[in-house]
Structure 1
Amino acid sequence: MATRVSEIMSTRVVTIEMDDRLTIVKEIFDSAPFHHLLVIENDSLQGVLSERDYLRTLSPHIGSIGETERDSDTLQRRAHQVMSRDPITIAPEADIKTAGQLMLAHDIGCLPVMAFSKIVGIITWKDLLRAFCHDELVPQQE
């Protein structure tokens, strides 16, 4: 039987609001072991903000001796200005092969997991890799 998304997804999801500033995003990414934030408005998923999106937006001079006011102003941008819109999502009952195919087809690193229009989890490429490697290491019962 195929492994379902719900079996390997993370249910600890961190969300931010559309108008949250990148200073908040920086604090989260600096202190947390994950690389994707779900952006919501009125409890509805609007986008995904990856650490890569965030870093691409920042000036490379932030935190250096050459930092200028213009550089630090990049941290005042809002989440909705940086996030990826119209995120590809997946249902918790979908199999992980489908999740992997979606991530590859859309060149994305995570899928918000949705049930009845509510966020119930998130699955990343690392979750998939861990599951596929675990399946290879543990002999299947027949």
Structure 2
Amino acid sequence: MPAITQLMSRNPVSVSPDDTLAVVKEIFDQVKFHHLLVVDNKQLMGVISDRDLFKALSPNLGTAAETTKDLATLKKRVHQVMHRQPISLSVGAEVMDAVRLFNREGVSCIPVVDSFNRPLGILSWRDIMQALEKKQPRAE
């Protein structure tokens, strides 16, 4: 099995703890991934998922029932919603370390950080599944 650095997505998209949920929504509306790293002073502070965003925003946004109060949910800050101190892996971790974390912690992504807690990439369980599929010979 390849190293996690070969499987992870490099240069992950990140936001600041002080960014608004409007910024996060705009990013998620334009991309196909489901997690953003929250970075402050180049250090990993947390993770925010599209599910976290969905829970934090009013369901009336963009509907005829939308009110000023609904629009205000877009002004919430990332630090109010993010998962703090996320589980992460160091560059030297092995794929089985990631598998154990996915199974034990119930997370769907794991940031990969250097020794200074600076994010280098993000690993999803899908990345591992895709690597496994490539490793197996195709059935005829």
Aligned length: 138
- Is the Cα–Cα contact under 8 Å of residues 5 and 91 in structure 1 kept in the other structure? no
Aligned residue in 1 for 2:120 = 120
Q: What pairs up with 1:93-104 in 2 under 5 angstroms?
A: 93-104=92-103
Deviations 1:113-135 (Å, cap 9, x if unpaired)? Answer: 01122211110121111112222
Matched with 2:69 is: 70
CA distance in structure 1 between the partners assigned to 2:123 and 2:133 by the alignment: 16
* Partners of 1:67 and 1:16 in 2: CA distance: 26
Residues of 2 paired with 1:62 and 1:76: CA distance? 13
Confirm or deny: 8 A CA contact 2:90 2:115 kept in the other structure.
Answer: no
Q: Name the structure 2 match of 1:44.
A: 43
Q: Compared with structure 1, are the counterparts of its residues 65 and 137 closer, same or farther at alpha carbon in structure 2 (3 Å cutoff)?
A: farther
Q: Alpha carbon RMSD of aligned pairs, Å?
A: 1.5
How far does the alpha carbon of each residue in 1:2-25 deviate from its partner, in whole angstroms, 9 at most, with x for none?
A: 321011111031111110000000
Report the 3-state secondary structure (helix = DSSP H, G, I; strand = E; otherwise coil) of the residue aligned with 1:73: helix
Provide structure 2 residue ranges, at least 5 long, that are not aligned to the other structure: none
User: How far apart in 1 are the matches of 2:131 and 2:96?
Assistant: 10
**Dislocated runs of 4+, deviation >6 Å:** none
Deviations 1:55-89 (A, max 9, x none): 11111111111111111111110000000001100
1:1-142, aligned counterparts within 5 Å?
2-117=1-116, 118-137=118-137
Scaled by the length of structure 2, the TM-score of the pair is: 0.92
Identity %: 39
- Runs (5+) with no aligned partner, structure 1: none
Matched position secondary structure for 1:121: strand
Partner Cα distance (2:134, 2:92) in 1: 20
TM-score computed with the length of structure 1 as normaliser: 0.91
